[in-house]
Chains A and B, each alone.
Chain A
């Protein structure tokens, strides 16, 4: 009888860890890029495009490193263009449709707040190439957090309509937040090797930042104890991801022998 789960190697764990980080950023960046040309005002067209650009840039750097760690001759595009839904390990939070501007902002705030605490700790990882990347990206994450937090305040404490809209967005997004803190054997390996972070260590800080911001925005903090979604990190997704990948990958896959860089 074969064992149900084969022993995870350090290399496999690190590769998975990098891909999870990268997939979140590619999928959210791709989603946000849908705003380009359609923002509520020109300044926000610029800001959201900028955030997308950062996120996809971070994903690209992470995929490049993942390709090195994997060492099978792949490049960054392999991970973005030649994997299917079940192989993508991004959070469901990142793949949900863009919604209205408030929904995009609420999601960005929840995600950027998490990234901020996560990257603050990843700075200490025992791998210079990795921390070089982390430090560079952290600067941009701080900007994303500031930008989205300011908009949460504006919309929450703006008009009655904006208040109701963004409240509804947070209510809808809430069940996707628990997955931010999901950990498994991959994380255990990485923590043991001094490469990853234990997200339970900053869960309270993250919650406090979120609660304080929502309160300042005169919003109601939804119930943390409600039903929470799970499965993203094992490749379980909403139906939205498949459509996004179909669109994102079609040209590259239609002409796989062509040079597109």
Chain B
């Protein structure tokens, strides 16, 4: 029963900065919010393999092919830790996967944009992994122990991804005229979607206050987004790419960079499933799942037979 006393006790633990572990008592709502957030994060890592996987076979050097393949493999690993962390809340990975393949669980909309040129891979490393780091660095201090630890591990690898993307983007931005054009075009297309990764404005984010009260999140969407913009402005300058926002100006008073209006209509449109690649992403994930069913069944059946044989033998 969720009596007030228990709820207060729980809140006191949160306020004292204690980590909540799987065996600890927690409000049902806290559990549900975590399941929603963590599984959404996991699905995003997995769907995120697709836009980048799109360039593994065409990577322009052996070194870049290895780097990209390793990166996409890391994302699969992130998905795996996050699913395991979510399972500590008493739900099965297979159920979570069903929820996004056939139900209404979400994944990050950024992955519904197409990777048209190789420079997109570099821009994703810089901007998308960059935004993910800002978010995940905060989540590494989240009140739920398993989620916090999963993010600590993930952040280390994301930093590496960002560095590799940024370095190659810098190389292209100072390369041949064609490379420069490709690099700038990629930044133009990925800038706004990367700002949208932090979610709607705080005023339109119904879950925010509760998540912050429970220290699942420690900062609001707008705070995180501002932090990201401030960093990226500097990093863009350093490699001579232009951020496609004429309203970017330094605000002496706040010490932050002010930026233009985010195209929210586009954001909601993509969330609703109308991004260029929405349908393809879902199709690809569903067909991987469905084409893999016979393999998963075989593994289960083999394990069953093997156990039976071992029992008979002993």
- Residues of A with Cβ closer than 8 Å to B? 26, 30, 33-34, 36-46, 49-50, 52-53, 56-57, 59-60, 63, 76-77, 80-81, 100-102, 153-155, 157-159, 161-162, 165, 244, 247-248, 250-252, 255, 257-261
The answer to whether A42 touches B64, judged by C-beta atoms less than 8 angstroms apart, is no
The answer to whether A252 touches B295, judged by C-beta atoms less than 8 angstroms apart, is no
Measured in the bound complex, the distance between the Cα atoms of B64 and A62 in whole Å is 17
Measured in the bound complex, the distance between the Cα atoms of B68 and A251 in whole Å is 15
| Mask of B49-73 contacts with A, CB within 8 angstroms, 1/0 | 1100100111111111110011011
* Residue from B73, B284, B297 with most neighbouring chain A CB atoms (10 Å): B73
**Dominant SS among interface residues on chain B:** helix
| Mask of B28-68 contacts with A, CB within 8 angstroms, 1/0 | 00000000000000000010011001001111111111100
The answer to whether B73 touches A50, judged by C-beta atoms less than 8 angstroms apart, is yes
The answer to whether A162 touches B295, judged by C-beta atoms less than 8 angstroms apart, is yes
Contact of B57 among A33, A63, A101, A252 (CB under 8 A): A33
Measured in the bound complex, the distance between the Cα atoms of B305 and A74 in whole Å is 54
B111–chain A nearest beta-carbon distance, Å: 11
The answer to whether A259 touches B175, judged by C-beta atoms less than 8 angstroms apart, is yes
The answer to whether B76 touches A45, judged by C-beta atoms less than 8 angstroms apart, is yes
B288 within 8 A of A: yes
A42/B83 contact (C-beta < 8 A), A36-B72, A37-B284, A63-B62 known: yes
The answer to whether A252 touches B61, judged by C-beta atoms less than 8 angstroms apart, is yes
A158/B298 contact (C-beta < 8 A), A38-B284, A40-B292, A42-B46 known: yes
The answer to whether B292 touches A39, judged by C-beta atoms less than 8 angstroms apart, is yes
Residue of B nearest to A260 (CB): B60
Contact of B288 among A40, A81, A250, A255 (CB under 8 A): A40
Q: List 12 A-B contacts (CB under 8 A).
A: A40-B293, A45-B49, A60-B62, A101-B295, A102-B295, A157-B302, A157-B305, A158-B302, A162-B297, A250-B58, A251-B59, A258-B176
B291 within 8 A of A: yes
A161/B294 contact (C-beta < 8 A), A37-B288, A42-B80 known: yes
Q: Which chain A positions have C-beta within 8 A of B60?
A: 81, 251-252, 255, 258, 260
B186–chain A nearest beta-carbon distance, Å: 14
Contacts of B111-125 to chain A: CB distance below 8 A? 118
| Mask of B266-302 contacts with A, CB within 8 angstroms, 1/0 | 0000000000000000001001100111111111011
A77–chain B nearest beta-carbon distance, Å: 5
The answer to whether A261 touches B298, judged by C-beta atoms less than 8 angstroms apart, is no
B175–chain A nearest beta-carbon distance, Å: 5
Q: Which chain A positions have C-beta within 8 A of B65?
A: 33, 56
Using C-beta atoms within 8 Å of the partner chain, give the interface range for chain B.
35 or more
A49/B73 contact (C-beta < 8 A), A40-B288, A41-B292 known: yes
The answer to whether B294 touches A255, judged by C-beta atoms less than 8 angstroms apart, is no
The answer to whether A36 touches B61, judged by C-beta atoms less than 8 angstroms apart, is no
Contact of B61 among A33, A45, A155, A261 (CB under 8 A): A261
B226 within 8 A of A: no
Measured in the bound complex, the distance between the Cα atoms of B72 and A136 in whole Å is 24
Measured in the bound complex, the distance between the Cα atoms of B281 and A37 in whole Å is 10
A130–chain B nearest beta-carbon distance, Å: 19
Q: Which chain B positions have C-beta within 8 A of A162?
A: 294-295, 297-298, 301
A156–chain B nearest beta-carbon distance, Å: 9
Residue of A nearest to B69 (CB): A53
The answer to whether A33 touches B58, judged by C-beta atoms less than 8 angstroms apart, is no
A256–chain B nearest beta-carbon distance, Å: 10
Q: Which chain B positions have C-beta within 8 A of A155?
A: 295, 298, 302
| Mask of B124-153 contacts with A, CB within 8 angstroms, 1/0 | 000000000000000000000000000000
B299–chain A nearest beta-carbon distance, Å: 5
The answer to whether A159 touches B288, judged by C-beta atoms less than 8 angstroms apart, is no
B110–chain A nearest beta-carbon distance, Å: 16
The answer to whether B292 touches A36, judged by C-beta atoms less than 8 angstroms apart, is no
B271–chain A nearest beta-carbon distance, Å: 22
Contact of B301 among A49, A59, A158 (CB under 8 A): A158
B79 within 8 A of A: yes
Contact of B291 among A30, A57, A100, A259 (CB under 8 A): A100
A260/B73 contact (C-beta < 8 A), A38-B288, A154-B299, A251-B118 known: no
Contact of B62 among A49, A76, A250, A259 (CB under 8 A): A76
Closest 10 pairs (CB-CB, A-B): A40-B292, A158-B298, A162-B298, A40-B295, A260-B60, A37-B49, A49-B73, A37-B53, A154-B302, A38-B288
Q: Which chain B positions have C-beta within 8 A of A52?
A: 69
Measured in the bound complex, the distance between the Cα atoms of B288 and A60 in whole Å is 30
Q: Which chain B positions have C-beta within 8 A of A252?
A: 60-61
Measured in the bound complex, the distance between the Cα atoms of B273 and A25 in whole Å is 40
B159 within 8 A of A: no
The answer to whether A37 touches B72, judged by C-beta atoms less than 8 angstroms apart, is yes
The answer to whether B69 touches A33, judged by C-beta atoms less than 8 angstroms apart, is yes
The answer to whether A101 touches B292, judged by C-beta atoms less than 8 angstroms apart, is yes
Contact of A42 among B69, B79, B293 (CB under 8 A): B79
Measured in the bound complex, the distance between the Cα atoms of B171 and A17 in whole Å is 35
Measured in the bound complex, the distance between the Cα atoms of B70 and A60 in whole Å is 15
The answer to whether B57 touches A255, judged by C-beta atoms less than 8 angstroms apart, is no
Measured in the bound complex, the distance between the Cα atoms of B178 and A252 in whole Å is 13
Measured in the bound complex, the distance between the Cα atoms of B58 and A80 in whole Å is 12
Contact of A158 among B50, B58, B76, B299 (CB under 8 A): B299
